[in-house]
Amino acid sequence: MSDDETYVVAAFVAAHRWLPPASYRPVHLPAEVVSVSECLTDCHPHDQKSMSDPPWHRSLDDALDAAAGDAAGCVPEPAPEHIIKRVLKRITNRTVEEEVTLGTVHTLAMSVPASDADGLLTLMRQSIGDYPHPILTNLALGAPPPAGQALGFEVLGFDEGWFHTWLCYTLHEEAATRFGVFPNERGLLNTLAEARLVSDMANEGRGTVGGFAEEYTWFPALVTQHDLVRQAAGIPGSSHRSSLTGEPL
């Protein structure tokens, strides 16, 4: 994250790490991947009172409650079969055996560069109107993300009210081949410059035979982790122990 870039918080999620199948891991991905995309986090719908806006939470407190299992109706259970099938369908480049874990739940924030916030807000309104989506509400407020641990940048693609991840379409493979850009140990990109490079690549000629096949608009998103907020407050359910530096162990 560059020192001169500011960010606007879009939403929060309570999500497990995604465990890529063995066929995926040799292609520049770690054993556990951080994601805030609906393609992967909707594998874990138990943190939602309603499936109308999965997986987004309006506030950090709501996401922390969901991660701890405190919110009403938030009882961990395996993902419904139709959710798993939807995720598998969206990973189009290979046969994937999706593994959904009931392990640690992490509280994450998704933020966008301030220079991109108005564009994403306009794009979402064109798609879903004035529906009170948590991301629409937060982008309109324009608040910065709360203090947290920056994990890296995920390239997300928006289309028809849905946020896709670059990993579903193996854009990480193309980025490695074309630019020598690789995901970090969390499956994210280390810098905003790298994330912009990949999102620009994905947006080139989108919806055409020679470009990206789908009409998604891709953009970089900063992912920060906020598990330690709950631990510092002495509230049960924290996903991490911490060192004196505040880094997860």
Structural domain of 40 = 7-232
pTM for the whole thing? Answer: 0.77
Decide if 247 is inside a domain.
no
**Using alpha carbons only, what angle is made at residue 91 by residues 214 and 32, rounded to the nearest 5 degrees?**
125
What's the domain count of the chain?
A: 1
Per-residue pLDDT of the chain (249 residues; tens, 9 = 90+): 445 789 999 999 988 888 777 766 556 788 888 999 987 765 444 444 444 456 789 999 988 888 876 443 444 444 445 444 544 444 443 433 333 334 578 899 999 999 999 999 999 999 999 888 999 999 999 999 999 999 999 999 998 888 999 988 888 989 999 999 999 999 999 999 999 999 999 998 776 655 665 788 999 999 999 986 554 444 443 333 322 223 332
Decide if 245 is inside a domain.
no
Decide if 222 is inside a domain.
yes
Decide if 240 is inside a domain.
no
Find out whether 41 and 35 touch, Cβ atoms under 8 Å. Answer: yes
Q: How many CB atoms lie within 10 A of CB 67?
A: 28
Decide if 1 is inside a domain.
no
Decide if 80 is inside a domain.
yes
Decide if 36 is inside a domain.
yes
DSSP class per residue in 151-215: EEEEEEEEETTEEEEGGGGTHHHHHHHHH-----TTSSBS-HHHHHHHHHHHHTTTTSSSS-SS-
Decide if 96 is inside a domain.
yes
